[in-house]
Amino acid sequence: MEIIVIGGGIGGQTLALALHGAGKNWRIRVFDGAPTLQPLGVGINLQPHAIRELTSLGLQDALREVAIEAREFVFSTHNGQIVYREPCGLFAGYKYPHFSAHRGYLLMVLYGAAKERIGTENILTGQRCVGVEQSGAKAVAHFVDGKGAKLPSQEADIVIACDGINSTIRKQFYPDEGPPKFHGINLWRGLTRAKPFLSGASVTRIGGLFTTGKVVIYPIRNAIDEEGNQLLNWNTEVVTDVHDAVDWNKPGKLEDFFPIFKDWSFPWLDMADIIKRNELLLTYPMVDRDPVSRWTFDRVTLMGDAAHPVYPRGGNGGAQAIIDATTIARLLQSHDDPRDALKAYEAERIPFTSKIVQASRTQPPDILIDTVERLTGGKRFDDLSKFISPEELQALAQGYLKIAGSDLDTVGRRVSG
């Protein structure tokens, strides 16, 4: 069987690895429009449900080399009062770790493994897919180069589109859908060198989005210089009607958001200073798409952000693409007709990912801080239990994990001894 993968990002490379791991005599080719694949971007959280799948592909040790193993989740108000913290990954009893990594380094791990396993000649860059056709027992993908010149079309038994939130293939099947939906929240993301804070491996959320503005910050590399600094990934979210293009690598401007966070300096973290000293600053609108009821069209299917674009929260954009990939490989392995496998894939994954899209809009992990900020009126407090119980805080923290399938019971517990 011949398989074409459109898109060489995290989802596409994972899919190539998963298809190779199925142990079948399949020809797998990955096409990407970029002239080269480079380690671009900022951070990503890989929670245990994603690491479970990547471990099955033999990648856990390679990931550990380029990432930080997160120890805990921390939630703080905008004035620096820590209201809740809990262990994560192996430290919470999971069977798999939680890694915080540079998105580009994650891609390079996947890309390196894919080149080794399916062959460098089967990962083709500088070829942008502009459409697919189907005729009888084959699907045909059409390509252009970076200047728009036509390239040879390619034939396969199935085509899997991993070409992102602006997917050309999705637009072909949903021509009237329009651009991604912006819901009034803009994101600024940055990288800064700084000394470790809290545990040195804390995934930390500060402030309530709808009450004060929000920050997420966590380290993604240790000891990056002689002074023992970490590379910290951070992002801010602000409710606003203004946003730039839907482009992961769009440069941001400090003056557009910094005034909201200029006084966020706490004994345990000088967030304002970290923002000011950024080494890279990008902006991105919080966009997604409404879930659709169909991804598979005979010999063509959608995967990852092409299928279910979601707010970049909790690492679930990348995680769900990774799970899509291993699901497709598993089902292709167990079905005689690949078209049946692709239909089974959408039947299994659409209901689940649709819930995640909706929950990321309305029940994100930081709802805990918004709740505390509202109950306390945004003021410092002496005894939080007068406003909300520890059990209620834990329920808020665990709610999104259960919806996303990243809770301890779903992912699996570590066996001791």
Read off the pLDDT of residues 142-200 as tens digits, 9 standing for 90 and up: 999 999 999 999 999 999 999 999 999 999 999 999 998 888 889 999 999 999 999 99
Q: What is the DSSP string of 273-321?
A: HHHHT-SEEEEEEEEE----S---BTTEEE-GGGT----S-TTHHHHHH
What's the average model confidence in pLDDT over 67-77? 97
pLDDT of residue 158: 98
Residue 232's alpha-carbon distances to 146, 191, 269, in angstroms, are 34, 6, 12
252 pLDDT above the threshold of 60: yes
> Does residue 9 carry a pLDDT above 80?
yes
* Residue 92 pLDDT > 50: yes
The strand pairing partners of 185, in sequence order, are 239
Question: pLDDT value at position 417?
Answer: 46
Q: What is the pLDDT at residue 241?
A: 84
Could you report the per-residue pLDDT of 316-354, keeping only the tens digit for each?
A: 889 999 999 999 999 999 999 999 999 999 999 999 999
Reply yes or no on whether the pLDDT at 1 is more than 60.
Answer: yes
Q: What SS3 string covers 112-145?
A: HHHHHHHCHHHEECCCEEEEEEEECCEEEEEEEC
Tell me which residue of 247, 272, 246 sits closest to 257, measured CA to CA. 272
Query: Does the pLDDT value for residue 301 go beyond 90?
Result: yes
Instruction: Give the pLDDT score at 198.
Output: 97
DSSP summary character for residue 1: -
CATH architecture of 2-40+104-179+291-362: 3-Layer(bba) Sandwich (3.50)
Q: What is the pLDDT of residue 415?
A: 64
CA angle (315 as vertex; 313, 316 as ends), nearest 5: 80
Decide: residue 50, CB within 10 A, 0-12 exposed, 13-18 middle, 19+ buried: buried
**Residue 62 has what pLDDT?**
97
Q: Tell me the mean pLDDT in the region 83-99.
A: 95
Q: Which amino acid is at 415?
A: V
**Nearest Cα to Cα of residue 268 among 216, 198, 200:** 198
Which pLDDT score, from 0 to 100, does residue 401 have? 83
**Could you tell me the pLDDT band of residue 31, with boundaries at 50, 70 and 90?**
very high
Q: Is the pLDDT of residue 416 over 70?
A: no
- The pLDDT-based confidence of 240 (bands split at 50, 70, 90) is confident
Token couple for 319: 């995680």
